[in-house]
Structure formats: structure tokens, C-alpha cells
Amino acid sequence: MRYSRDMIGYGEHTPDAKWPGNARIAVQIVINYEEGGENSIEHGDAASEAFLSEIIGAQPWPGKRHWNMESIYDYGARAGFWRLHRLLKDVPVTVYGVATALERAPEQVAAMQDAGWEIATHGYKWIDYKDIPREIEAEHIAKAIELHTQVTGERPRGFYQGRTSMNTVGLGCEEGGFEYLADTIADDLPYWHVHKGKPQLMVPYTMDANDMRFSSGQGFGTGVEFFDYLRDSFDILYAEGVAGAPKMMSIGLHCRLAGRPGRAMAIKQFLEHARGHEGVWFATRLDIARHWAKTHPYRAKLRPSQMGREEFIEQFGGVYEHSPWIAERVWDAEMGAIHDTPAGLAARMAQIFRAASDEERLGVLLAHPDLAGKLAAARRLTESSTAEQASAGLDSLTDEERAEFDRLNSAYMEKHRFPFIIAVRDHDKPGIMAAMRQRIDNDTATERGEAERQVSRIATLRLQQLLDDN
């Protein structure tokens, strides 16, 4: 089974974003313009809207219009947008514009463009696509681009559907004209997503630093709470940037929510707080996408989870000495992006090894050669074992050293009935010999456990070399 989700991302050490001017944080503000694109009988939909409004717990009214719901959305277009525009007209902003909403907002669109804001597409209609057939959603994306281009004068370069299906990201990739997709909340930095062998830049969005939480039963109750959350998010990310790991901070706003007076104050206070720090880059999502594509271009890498069975076993079948069955079982099990890293694949192979029978595990130990033994002298070691023994100088022993290794190997084998195994890349020659002398005295059960740990360590080091070289 191939697991589709990427649960590793950048891992412990994120890349240096290298924001312009060596900024310590990129702040990205989104205004969602949805008013006029929501569900409404007058828009040809089957029911009224019920999402993201002042009416917590609202339900759709099938076949009926909902006066209060519509007037809440009307407020966003009539008043909320202009309040946010006054606050943010001098700030780089990305608008997620629903195409049918933009069509009904010529003055607002003109104001967005006068402010130099980026207008990305927020889809054709602001509806839930989870049950929409793939071909219909694809048709809607095409319509959104067409209408967006007619209304704004240029096609959108970014895409955020918002109320997605499992097809949305794939369809966005296949459309082929987007510099970034934003339907992800998986990271604090942009990242490359590969769809059908082709890379697509993702610029993550947010659902926490987002005024949508004013419309939920467990969210922000006041503007003070919203500001506190934005400030704390900024401060943590800014500190990480100062420490050498800059991130981006996304903020999501809606005209009918944050555009209300009691909430707009939080935006004003946040801007003052952020502007009080040096090294803050306010940017549109397109700015960030273009910077990332230039500074961190996509680079293809070896992806074990995407290999065919034969290729995988050929590449990794020798990681455990003469034991390709471990690679075979790894491939047959669940694999995903987490197993495309040296540590992730090593952990999976070690898991398979530990799950094997006692006889199978002993077979792996017996497959290992003696250190500096007869196979090495006859040049019959595997390529990996040859390189490992050479790394510790075991290929250039004096006659006295070779005699001592032979003596210790024989004594160890006689007592424990399997070869002495150690990850030689972790040691030098004197250290290896000292470990042999010490471990001979262990009881066999203890030594069996240590030998199995060393086998897994050897595999980890081999995988680091195989994957880091690719």
C-alpha cells in the first residue's frame, strides 16, 4: 500500500527561507472575497448559505432564501470590504476572489487593483466540493479562470478552492497555469508537491490565524482574543526567524467577519505590533511563491516509496547483508513520504527485521562476514562491507593486527555462534578491537541483542549514504 500523505515535510531542520532583505518573517494577509458567490437560490443553488456567518449553527434552507444570511454577506461587500481596504490599502495583500463574487463587485475589484493587491482565484462559486464529481469541479475551475480573466483583465496565478474535495489539488496541478496552490495548511513554509511526476508549488494557508473562528462555537469571541492570537503567532515565528529559521505567517480575513468594527481593531493593532519589529516582510502569496521558486527551485530526488518493486529491491536489497527479504517485505507493506528519508526508511526496515522470526534474524547475523577475515582477504565482501571495513582501516592491517583479529573472531564465534558485528563507520580500528575484547565476555543472549542493534545501525548508515547521494 502506498500512503499518500506526506507526514515528514522538512522534518526537524527547515530550510533557510532567505526572505528578501534577510527578513526574519514573511507576513501574508488574505482577504477572502466571497460575497455574491455563496449559496443562494438567486445564484441558482438548491439552498441558502449556512457557512461562516454570525449565525452559529445555521442550516441551509432548501428551496428558500435566507434574508438574514444574505444581508450578513451583503454587509461584507457594502461595508466590511471598505473598512479592511482602508486599513490595508498600503499593505501587500492577496485576495481570494470567488469569480462570481468578483463579477458582482466591479468597484471593489477596482479598489483591489488600485491598491496593487494580488487577486487569486477562490473558485467559480463558494460551495462545498466534497461531493461534486471530478469532471464538474474541473469544469468549474476552468470557468473560474475564464470569468476571473474577464473581470480583472488577467488570469489568476494562485488558486485556493477552500471548500475542497480530494480532487481539488490534483485538478489545480493539472490545470497547469498556477504558480502556486494554497489548498494546504500543512506547513509554515512553501513546499513542492509532486503530482503525476510534475512539481507544483504549494503556499500553505491557515485556519487558526483566521477570523473564521468568530463564526464557530469554540473560537474567538472578541477582537482582543483575535489580536492576542495573531500577536502570539507572530512573536513565536519571529523568534524562530531570529534564531535562523525564518517562516511565513498567514492571516485569513473575511469581509463580513473581520470587516466588522469590533474585529477590525484587532487588525489595526496587529499591524502596529508587526511594524514595530525590524525584518518583517509583508508580501502577497505570489511574491512568496516567486521568491521560493527562484531561491528553492524544485529538485528531483530518489523517492523509495514511489519505486517499483523490482527497482526498490535492487536498490535496497543489500542494506541488510545478503538479506533481500527485508526489502521485499518493506515494499509490500505501507510506504509513504516518511519512508523517503534515510531515517524513515531505516526505521521501517528495522521494524521489519525486528518482526521477523528468531531463525530469520539469526540468518541475517550469520550473513555478516568476519571483520578483516578470510572473505576480506579474498576480496569477496559485498561492495558495502568492503567500503565500511576500509573506512576504519581494516583493509590495511599489520601482520600482528591481522593475527589478533583472527584470534578474536575465532573466540567470539566459538562462544556466541555468530560473527562479531559492529557498525565500523562509528569507530576507528583501536575502538573496534576494544569492543571485540569487551563483548566477547557478554552472555550470548545479551550479545545477540547487541548484534541485532548493530545490524540495524549498519543499515541506517548505508541508507544515509544511498539516499544522501541521491
Which residue numbers are catalytic?
368
Own/partner contacts of 462-469, CB < 8 Å, gap of 24 or more, are 462/319, 462/384, 463/316, 463/319, 463/342, 463/345, 463/346, 463/349, 464/342, 464/346, 466/302, 466/315, 466/316, 466/319, 466/342, 467/302, 467/304, 467/340, 467/341, 467/342, 467/345, 468/342
CA distance 153 to 341: 44
Helix (H, G, I), strand (E, B) or coil at 343: helix
- Distance (Å) of CA 202 to CA 93, 123, 178, 193, 443: 18, 17, 10, 7, 55
Q: Look at strands 280-282 and 180-181 and give their pairing.
A: unpaired
- The set of residues, in sequence order, having a beta carbon less than 8 Å from that of 217 and lying 6+ positions away, is 56, 57
Q: What is the CA radius of gyration of the chain?
A: 30
For 141-194, give the DSSP string: HHHHHHHHHHHHSS--SEE--SS--TTHHHHHHHH---SEE----S-SS-EEEE
CA distance 253 to 268: 13
CA distance 17 to 25: 9
Helix (H, G, I), strand (E, B) or coil at 205: coil
